[in-house]
A and B are shown apart, each in its own frame.
Chain A
Amino acid sequence: TQLLEQSPQFLSIQEGENLTVYCNSSSVFSSLQWYRQEPGEGPVLLVTVVTGGEVKKLKRLTFQFGDARKDSSLHITAAQPGDTGLYLCAGAIRSGTPDKLIFGTGTRLQVFP
């Protein structure tokens, strides 16, 4: 069974702090996506990383795809209350057409003002 473990599961921090969320698996992914889900809403795609070692920046968010394409991290600089939400990673596995998209266990982030 393919599994994407995210850590930490929960994170409560003060506004202005930095944080890193990790997404790990023993499977190799053709691509990996990060989503944020706010209460009462569906997940919204933040980024897709495709190449091993790739780093993408989205304002205060930095996403990295591991060299072996088995893991990824999301780093947030100077967190703000608006960053509060459930962060999900999702890896695409080549398994016929379409690729299978496996979602991670999620990291629930709360940023206090």
Chain B
Amino acid sequence: ETGVTQTPRHLVMGMTNKKSLKCEQHLGHNAMYWYKQSAKKPLELMFVYNFKEQTENNSVPSRFSPECPNSSHLFLHLHTLQPEDSALYLCASSQAIAGLLGETQYFGPGTRLLVL
């Protein structure tokens, strides 16, 4: 068991909808991440949070809005998405973030998103 849960597991939404993805980690970690995994493209880092503070926004469009109310929860708010945003969205957590040397990231199972 990875200790990182994501809901919902599957989501279909129209381009005008607003939805949110939720991630929760039960590992006592301080850093949390959002990744996007598309077919035929490498896993892309979107956002990084360390002790609830955003430390990285990897040039992600503003239609994706992250929120980290505490070290255990991470949300990704979605609005006016495009069909090309359809992908698997993965959440991960790690104990520390000061360099990734030897640091293990634990991934959740992902939310499979389809934008129509």
Q: Using a CB–CB distance below 8 Å, which chain A residues touch chain B? A: 3-4, 30-31, 40-45, 48, 50, 88, 90, 92, 94, 97-106
Contact = CB atoms under 8 A, between A and B. Distances in A.
B75 to A, nearest CB: 17
B104 A45 contact: yes
A106 B37 CA distance: 11
A104 B43 CA distance: 8
B2 A48 contact: no
B113 to A, nearest CB: 14
Question: Which of B90, B105, B110 gathers the greatest number of chain A CB atoms within 10 Å?
Answer: B105
Interface string B87-116: 000111000011111101111111000000
A88 B43 contact: yes
B13 interface: no
Given A42-B107, A44-B2, A98-B55, A104 B42 contact: yes
Given A45-B105, A50-B101, A4 B42 contact: yes
Closest CB pairs A-B (n = 9): A42-B107, A103-B43, A99-B100, A92-B100, A103-B42, A98-B97, A99-B99, A43-B107, A31-B101
A98 B42 contact: no
B78 interface: no
Interface residues of B, number: 28
A41 to B, nearest CB: 5
Nearest to A3: B42
Interface of B: 2, 4, 31, 41-45, 48, 50, 55-56, 90-92, 97-102, 104-110
B98 A97 contact: yes
A4 B110 CA distance: 23
Nearest to B104: A45
Given A44-B107, A48-B102, A92-B99, 16 more contacts: A4-B42, A30-B100, A30-B101, A41-B107, A43-B107, A50-B101, A50-B102, A90-B43, A97-B55, A97-B98, A98-B31, A98-B50, A101-B100, A101-B105, A102-B42, A103-B42
Contacts of B92: 42
